[in-house]
Structure formats: structure tokens, C-alpha cells
């Protein structure tokens, strides 16, 4: 028997950062994101020899462990271990023996939510194997708890829900720590045009998002007016983006992205850099009307809206920086898991 799963990565189009505590708990947050045709994959092969084998294919890391109720968190594939520990604690009450193999289409620090998406994929595979009674909201919330509470990893809430639900979603994060996912019915031709015009560009750099997110949280806790005002503006941006996509006002997308980027840079230090600023300026000079860094900032992927026939000019201009443009499509489906 083989159990497989996959969950899609996401582009955070607007409102990024307003899902991070304590801002979301004090003011409530709003985010608009869309999943794309890049995935995190998980495969479980049950064993009966009392061993656990963890294999992160993309990282070229493999560990063989004794099957126990709790695996030590020690910096070696802790996401995999943390999920296993929670599954045993909450559902099985006894050790399991298996081989778990994973792969992610984007590198760590990419800004596409790769870590959280991997958690969702692994948890989805366990749910399929063990028949766990988890609906979409249950699974996404459990993935969030494993990352943020069990493993103490800094971050927000949007990635777990995007990977689980899939599609284009307007998400609301209430002061009562509640999450509502509102799927948006965007006309297919609007999404096709959006994916054509929205260039996804990897800067060939990485970053540690946790340090940026922690600084952002500290700024909110300390009532930093610049940070809080910026996040209020990003929440407005999410509403404008939703309206533009639903109405097919794609000519406004670049302007809305640029509006958000100017405020996002004020949330915390390290979100931008001289290189990122130079890449952004070149994209605008070559015909893009707006863009942003993906995720917390500091590196990884950027994306730019290039209307009309400007796409090729922008792609060509960005080659000088040594990064790569990534082809993708928007996807309607979230987490899927199956047994062979």
C-alpha cells in the first residue's frame, strides 16, 4: 500500500502580513491569495519493522529512526517529526512504523508558503492513511497549530488554508482568532490573462522569513505607528484586489500591487534590499505597472504585473540580475490525497 498527497503553493496577491499575530488578533486581517501549479508532495509507505524513515528528497536528507510515540525535535526534518508527534498524540496513541518521502517544487525561503504547504501535504497523507476525521478547516487549523504552537515557527495563517482549500480566496482573520475562507468565482478568461501578465521571478536568493515576521510582530506589540498604518493599508489593498478580480478590471492590478508594495516595505526592516529595489525599478522601467516580493520579504520570488505586450520586455530586462522567470498556472484545487 502506498499513500500519496499533494498540496499547491500560493501567491499572496494582497493583504500579506495582516494574518500574523498580534495584528490579526487586535485589528483583524484580510488577505487575497491564489494557488498555483507548484506543489508540495508526500508519500507514506507503511512498514512493520518498528522503524521510521524520513526522506526529504529535495533537501537530500534522510534519517532512520526507531518508532516511538515522540520523536526528538533537534533540527533534523523537524516539520516531519512535529506532524508525526501530533498525529500520535491526538489520534493514534501509539507509535507508527512507515517511510515518509517528501518533495517541494520551490526551495525553502521562496516566499510561496512552501513550509506550511508541506505540513498540509504530510498531514493530508496521514489523514488518508489513518482515516482521520478532519475537514478542510480542521486540517488547516491543525497544520497551523503544529507549525506555530508545537514547533514555535514564526508566521501567519494564510498558507495552511490556501494549501488546503486551493483556488482564489479572500480570507478574513477575525479578532476572535477565527478564520473564514471565501472562495472567489473569477471568470476563467480573467485568470488566464492574470497568469499571462503576472510574471513570477525567482531572485536566486533566499531569506529567513521568521526574523522579518518576528520584527513585524514586535513592531505591532510596541504600537509602532508606521507599521500599523502600513498593515491597515494592506488590508484595504486586499479588498481592492478582490473587487478588481471579480469585475475583470485587470488594468488596475499593477496599480494595486504597487500600492501594497510601498506600504509593505514599512512593516519591518529586511523586507526589501538594494537588489530587490533595483529589480523592482527595472521591471517598472521595462513596462510592469506594479509588483511585490512574495511572502515575508527579503528574497525568494517576486512577481510583476505586465499589461498588454510588455511581458517579454520585462522578462528580458530581468535576465541581467541572474534570476529565473517561472511559468505557472492558477489552480482551483487544494490538498488531494489518495491510496494505491
Quick one: 301 exposed, middle or buried, by C-beta within 10 A (0-12, 13-18, 19+)? Answer: buried
**Would you say the C-alpha torsion 158, 159, 164, 165 has a positive or negative sign?**
positive
pTM: 0.94
| CATH no., domain 3-185 | 3.30.230.10
For the beta sheet containing 290-293, the strands, ordered from the edge strand earlier in sequence to the opposite edge, are: 290-293, 301-305, 198-202, 324-326
User: How confident is residue 70, by pLDDT bands cut at 50, 70 and 90?
Assistant: very high
| Span 280-304, pLDDT tens digits | 999 999 999 999 998 877 778 999 9
Looking at domain 188-326, its CATH class is alpha beta
Q: What is the pLDDT of residue 209?
A: 66
| Span 207-247, pLDDT tens digits | 666 777 888 888 888 888 999 999 999 999 999 999 999 99
Which value, to the nearest 10 degrees, does the dihedral of the CA atoms of residues 43, 47, 49, 55 take? 0
Mean pLDDT, the chain, as a whole number? 93
Residues marked as catalytic: 159
Is it the case that residue 206 has pLDDT exceeding 70?
no
Q: Give the lowest-confidence range in 63-77, 121-135, 206-220.
A: 206-220
Q: What is the pLDDT of residue 268?
A: 81
Q: Identify the bridge partners of residue 326 per DSSP, sorted by sequence position.
A: 200
DSSP class per residue in 71-136 = ---SSSSHHHHHHHHHHIIIIISS---EEEEEEESS-TTSSS-HHHHHHHHHHHHHHHHHT----H
Q: What is the pLDDT of residue 84?
A: 98
User: How confident is residue 199, by pLDDT bands cut at 50, 70 and 90?
Assistant: very high
Domain boundaries, the chain: 3-185, 188-326
Amino acid at each position: 500500500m502506498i499513500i500519496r498527497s499533494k498540496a499547491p503553493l500560493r501567491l499572496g496577491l494582497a493583504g500579506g502580513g495582516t494574518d500574523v499575530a498580534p495584528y490579526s488578533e487586535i485589528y483583524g486581517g484580510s488577505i487575497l491569495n491564489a494557488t498555483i501549479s507548484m506543489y508540495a508532495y508526500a508519500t507514506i509507505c507503511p512498514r512493520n519493522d518498528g522503524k521510521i524513515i524520513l526522506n526529504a528528497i529535495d533537501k537530500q536528507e534522510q534519517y532512520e529512526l526507531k518508532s516511538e510515540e515522540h520523536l526528538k525535535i533537534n533540527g533534523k526534518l523537524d516539520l516531519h517529526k512535529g506532524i508525526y508527534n501530533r498525529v500520535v498524540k491526538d489520534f493514534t496513541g501509539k507509535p507508527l512504523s512507515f517511510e515518509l518521502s517528501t518533495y517541494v517544487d520551490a526551495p525553502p525561503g521562496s516566499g510561496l508558503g512552501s513550509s506550511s504547504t508541506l505540513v498540509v501535504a504530510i498531514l493530508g497523507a496521514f489523514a488518508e492513511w489513518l482515516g482521520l476525521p478532519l475537514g478542510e478547516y480542521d486540517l488547516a487549523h491543525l497544520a497551523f497549530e503544529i507549525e506555530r504552537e508545537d514547533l514555535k515557527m514564526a508566521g501567519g495563517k494564510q498558507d495552511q488554508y490556501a494549501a488546503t482549500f486551493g483556488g482564489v480566496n479572500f480570507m478574513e482573520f477575525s479578532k476572535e482568532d477565527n478564520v473564514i475562507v471565501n472562495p472567489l468565482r473569477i471568470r476563467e478568461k480573467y485568470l488566464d490573462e492574470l497568469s499571462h501578465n503576472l510574471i513570477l521571478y525567482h531572485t536566486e536568493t533566499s531569506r529567513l522569513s521568521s526574523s522579518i515576521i518576528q520584527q513585524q510582530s514586535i513592531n505591532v506589540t510596541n504600537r509602532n505607528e508606521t507599521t500599523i498604518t502600513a498593515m491597515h493599508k494592506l488590508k484595504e489593498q486586499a479588498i481592492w484586489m478582490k473587487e478588481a478580480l471579480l469585475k475583470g478590471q485587470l488594468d488596475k492590478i499593477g496599480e494595486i500591487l504597487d500600492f501594497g508594495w510601498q506600504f509593505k516595505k514599512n512593516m519591518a526592516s529586511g523586507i526589501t534590499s538594494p537588489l530587490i529595489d533595483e529589480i523592482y525599478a527595472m521591471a517598472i522601467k521595462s513596462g510592469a505597472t506594479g509588483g511585490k516580493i512574495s511572502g515575508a520579504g527579503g528574497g525568494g520570488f517576486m512577481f510583476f504585473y505586465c499589461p498588454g505586450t510588455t511581458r517579454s520586455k520585462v522578462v528580458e530586462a530581468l535576465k541581467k540580475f541572474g534570476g529565473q522567470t517561472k511559468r505557472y498556472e492558477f489552480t482551483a484545487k487544494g490538498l488531494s490525497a489518495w491510496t494505491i
